[in-house]
A and B are shown apart, each in its own frame.
Chain A
């Protein structure tokens, strides 16, 4: 039991930090544009595929740096030549633009790499167990993923809170006109933020690619959960995104590893229920409903706390 708790906690934090790598960019971009970037998870996928391709050519370690740079440059170009023009036509146009972009990226990825998973493997230098908890060997690569995510999280926090560029970004999120009147090029700041945000998603893609499955549907699989994170945390709130990332990471990993059911928990108290027509529902295990847990959380949050856990917006 203790073993299960420790490994699930580690896995949950790891999944949560990966989510945060993506959610942080998404939420800052949301504050800036006022709309959700539906294509954000697509940059995560591009990161994984770029990482796969580049590591074939020059190895995993250079790929870890080059792939996010490429994806980030692509993201900046999308902002500069796409979104900035679309922005003049209002939020609905922007939303549709990012929606279309997500489909376009998925199709292009399928054309180049096909629909089946590619063989993106953990680099041999990290393919060993880091330590064992009771009987479980915890892989070194997972520890590496965790460390990279935490390093980026700390780096992001320092840049945003302490550097001049970070202060300009913070100010521009709420008062873009005033920042421009002080002589700062706000449009360039926005392009930079978009580039960095998409590059962070790509980092998550490169490091998650070998551990999970690198496939053309990986954006579609992760995208919805990402939106859950951002909404639950509070749209536009970075601390909120952090808390929600960890929460959803932990909820999901714990739910998957649990076999309990309502019948198991309450059955002994009232055996009659177990016999009735409700028995099917009573017999469903927590692991079986794990995939819908984030969405249940989303619905509950929207009903009882529409601004999200740490959000300030009413809408």
Chain B
């Protein structure tokens, strides 16, 4: 579904991505792990066209490198950025509405579904989204992207700075997304959720992929964990 080959990206003169290769099949749950500053977020931003990419990025057979973000999104690639960019002055319901790309073509996620699944979003459906807690904002950004009915959703650090109970809820939502057949690329620093739900994992170090395998492969590979993941 998504194939990235030899992806390079630069911030000014610094060479952030130095040839990233990764692949996600339809319906697959894949995690991209690694420490801060190794280029995980940049990889996702380059795929979405927010950082100019060099290399090949194919999504459902279309070369999307160099396309504009909104065109990439319309092909069915969803992106939840790490900064929880909700629209603070709009209500929760309006935020969700803006996730819909074409109101005439409803997708597999409906407004009512969403509100039913998340009682705390429903309770605040008509209040300004800016006053919600970090966990609620995280839920809202994920739900909002789902309203656009993506076939692959890329989620950047969904659990960063959240309380353990909320982290668990975020994990449940990600599992539900996977259950409905949406492929997931989860960018994470913590191992817990990634190990629980991923089919495959990539570990990044210094702008490259340094490991690829299943969660049990990673459990058995102490040297990779020690060198690239553990602090």
A56 at the interface (CB under 8 A from B): no
**How many Å from the CB of B113 to the closest CB on chain A?**
18
Stretch at the interface among B17-25, B73-81, B173-181, B192-200: B73-81
Interface size on B, residues (CB 8 A): 24
Q: Is the CB of B48 within 8 A of A181?
A: yes
| Of A168, A175, A180, A184, most B-chain CB atoms within 10 Å | A180
Known: A167-B94, A168-B98. A181 touches B69 (CB 8 A): yes
CA separation between A178 and B129, bound complex, in Å?
Answer: 15
Majority-rule SS of B interface residues: mixed
Known A164-B103, A177-B50, A179-B98: A170·B70 in contact at CB below 8 Å: no
CB of A132 closer than 8 Å to a CB of B? no
The distance from the CB of B74 to the nearest CB of chain A, in whole angstroms, is 5
B70 touching A184 by the CB < 8 A rule? yes
B60-107 residues at the A interface, CB under 8 angstroms: 68-70, 73-74, 78-79, 81, 85, 87-90, 94, 97-99, 101, 103
Cross-interface CB contact of A164 among B48, B97, B144, B148, cutoff 8 Å:
B97
- Using an 8 Å CB-CB cutoff, how does the interface string of A301-312 with B read, 1 for contact, 0 for none? 000000000000
The CA-CA distance from A164 to B147 in the complex, in Å, is 15
Please indicate the chain B residues that have their CB under 8 angstroms from the CB of A181 in the complex.
48, 50, 69-70, 73, 78-79, 81, 145
Interface bits A164-191 vs B (CB < 8 Å: 1, else 0): 1001101100110111111111110000
- 12 A-B residue pairs with CB within 8 Å: A167-B90, A170-B90, A174-B87, A177-B85, A180-B68, A180-B70, A180-B73, A181-B145, A182-B99, A183-B101, A185-B68, A187-B68
Count contacts between A and B, CB distance < 8 Å. 60
Interface residues of A in 177-215 (CB under 8 A from B): 177-187
Question: Which label, helix, strand, loop or mixed, suits the secondary structure of the A interface?
Answer: helix
Q: A174-B89, A182-B99 are in contact. List 18 more A-B contacts (CB 8 A).
A: A164-B98, A167-B90, A167-B98, A171-B90, A171-B98, A174-B87, A177-B69, A177-B85, A180-B69, A180-B73, A181-B48, A181-B70, A183-B70, A183-B148, A184-B70, A184-B98, A185-B68, A186-B70
In the A-B complex, the 7 residue pairs with the smallest Cβ-Cβ separation, listed nearest first, are: A183-B73, A178-B85, A180-B69, A183-B101, A171-B87, A180-B70, A183-B74
**Residues on A with beta carbons closer than 8 Å to the beta carbon of B90:** 167, 170-171
Q: Which residues of B contact A (CB under 8 A)?
A: 48, 50, 68-70, 73-74, 78-79, 81, 85, 87-90, 94, 97-99, 101, 103, 144-145, 148
